[in-house]
A and B are shown apart, each in its own frame.
Chain A
Amino acid sequence: MEDLKAPSIDYAAVAPILILFGAACLGVVVEAFVPRRARHAVQLTLALLATLAGLVVVITQASTRVTTAVGALAIDGPAVFLQGAILVLALVSLLLMGERKLEPGGAFVPQAAITVGSEADERQAARAPGLTEVYPISLFAIAGMLLFVAANDLLTMFIALEVFSLPLYLLCALARRRRLLSQEAALKYFLLGSYASAFFLFGVALVYGFVGAVDLASIHTAAAESDRDPLLLYAGLALLSIGLLFKTAAVPFHVWTPDVYQGAPTPVTAFMAACTKVAAFGALLRVLYVGFNGLSWDFTPILGVVAVLTMIIGAVLAVTQTDIKRLLAYSSIANAGYLLVGVLASGERGLASTMFYLVAYGFSVLAAFAVVTLVRDADGEAGHLSRWAGLGRRSPLIAGLFTFILLAFAGIPLTSGFISKFAVFAAAMEGGQTWLVIAGVISSIVLAFPYLRVVVMMWLSDPSDATPTVSVPGVLTTAALAIGVAMTLLLGVAPSLLLDLTTGAAEFVQ
């Protein structure tokens, strides 16, 4: 019998992914054998160490530009940069998840299977320590995201999509408070998410029908050289885009976002808003820039309309929101629109500015949700905006930090929000997409209104009895908040640190 040749794998290049997967499996073992009392500390340490180790390895791989595992993975500039971004943002999200000072037992439910509102549920709501499975589940999600941004063929990409989506669906259902809302969010996310995955898979099938292969390099060649009727290729790209745009929360595939962001435990919402965005845009960039760049004349107008709709609808609906988490969700939708402008700017500038935007937005949004976890009353987080009135008088420090983050979202100079918007708009102007920039600037003006309304409410209203107290954050939340705010400021004052990095990384290998 002839010996099969084992695929050659560059283990150094895929080491970050392997570390995260290994740590996730180890986390399950910890869950099985470590006594309940010690689990939280062990799991949190393991998760933080694994993410840190992954980050260190990614940094040592900074100059790697290879495809490996028979072309299934491309560890190139954007992959390494985005993997690093995901790991840094995930590290901060893990800090938020690990916080147990704000609420006895943490933000997660002790036993998710207990019926909501039953006696056992009331007993567990009071004090019982939360699930520690969230850490291995998060590690699986992070590993899937690392794989997603490096996937160089569509099937690997699909597997990675599922690997990071399934843990996210689970995490959404695990809130300690308002459990029905949380379970509803998870179910909605799961149903719509699997629907979007099916679109993605069907798109893969159609593209395979045209190309006869699923790797992006072959797709690129076939799109350029084949003289067959390209209908299959166009239909395939359209379906693929639906699957990816769903994860990025672009209009008209955004309807899940506010409900899921509101229902999910706030640390998980922060994790999704920061890391899932990076992963989804990473994959979208690779598909459009490597596989289908020959078709950019055809898809740019259509995705341009999606980008304009995303920016306008996200901004307009943000104005009408009365819940802080829903407001941030619509803001996240509008930001997906700005990111799409960067994607459509095409070329190295577009790629670099989109990657910069992803990191800058990720840090700001993590800090914003960290503040949301702090403002609470007896029933948990005080989500309704009217409750935030007069917060500036009660706790000027937290209100001040939140004001700074909101101004960054609004794109005020000296914050990372200004630099990142400027970068994507400049790239789009250079790429000849002036109409996108005009829509972007208009929607930014609209979007500034809800942010400023919150700022005005916090500082210019008198505190009433209904104004919640700001809990004293534990060391973990303090660290997460400090990192988020510091990076928002740093990237606004000295953006060249990161801009140079993104420019150096802005080239795909095939």
Chain B
Amino acid sequence: MAGTAAPVRLACAARWLAPMRATWLSSVDLGALVPASGRTGPGERAFWCTLAPVIEPPHQALGPDRLVSLYATMLRVRLFEERVRELYAGGRLPGFIHLSIGQEAVAAGAAAALRPDDYVFSTHRGHGHLIAKGGSLRGLMAELYGKRDGVCHGKGGSMHIADVSVGYLGANGVLAAGCVLAPGVGLAIKHRRSGQVALTFFGDGAANRGPFHEGVNLAALWGLPVVFVCENNRWASSTAHGLSTAGGSIAARAAGYGIPGVAVDGNDALAVYDAVWLAAEAARRDNGPSLIEAHTIRWVGHFEGDPQAYRHKSEVEEGRRQDPIARLGHWLGERGLLDPPGAERVRAAVVGEIEDAVAFAEASLFPEPADALTDLFAEYPWRD
């Protein structure tokens, strides 16, 4: 942990954050941070090694309850998606399903660093982001079933779900779409001076689309309160990162736009939390956007049913060795914050929530066919 360096009191953060853009850029050696392979090693904390003399890692201010809650969130995402996997294989869920099993630390770490009134834009692999942001499991599960009690009444489904009540402004079937939507929310936030933040997740594949560059440029240009979080799981669908992404590092692209860019170990929820917390805090203080690249590993296929002929199974084994849930569990255990019975209680509670959501979704009715006509415009019925 970076905290081995002499910690500086958090009060220093305010001073450090004010001139954040300049400080961060000058204190982070991107070359050292991101090796030529474009990938940080497991557990690498180059970012914090550089910054440790300047600031105490924000996660050190988290109390036991919030740390255990972070663990529970990851477990909730994991077990929810494993249940979804079963249900999908059993023919209960229509459509396509993209799971984030193995990537839970990014969703949970990022969402834990946000305020409830902050906004999140997500991706086609977005169940975890929604769960971490506090979305109702019932509403999510019923939506995956295509039932009327789904949070979108069955009109969105896995890839297009939204839960505006928790600031989750949508999964998205189009890659990098959130990169241009989030700056608009940033404009609205700036307009009302509410100190909120708009965070957008996107994948490493999406970083090669135009909207990523247009959105980062606009947010940087206008100093908008946006946090760009790239989940680099090494695969753009079935195309390897190295075969789709010039330059290797996505975090390094931030330098071209004059904003902070950091790569973190995306299998370490605390590392993700720290980076997102700082980026969000900078945004709240009108210091503009940041770009965070979280290196992680997807344990499952691009979609459920993907035979994954494109990769060696050793990659999944590597992912399992870095299991973000086991890692945080171990870390909590070492500090006496979560013992095995405690972990079992957390698991039992999460399983109960998930089974409740499944029962809710199973009991919910399908929409009436003519419900397809509602929600198109504010007024209903609408005129053609």
Tell me, yes or no, whether A binds B: no
Q: Which residues of A contact B (CB under 8 A)?
A: none
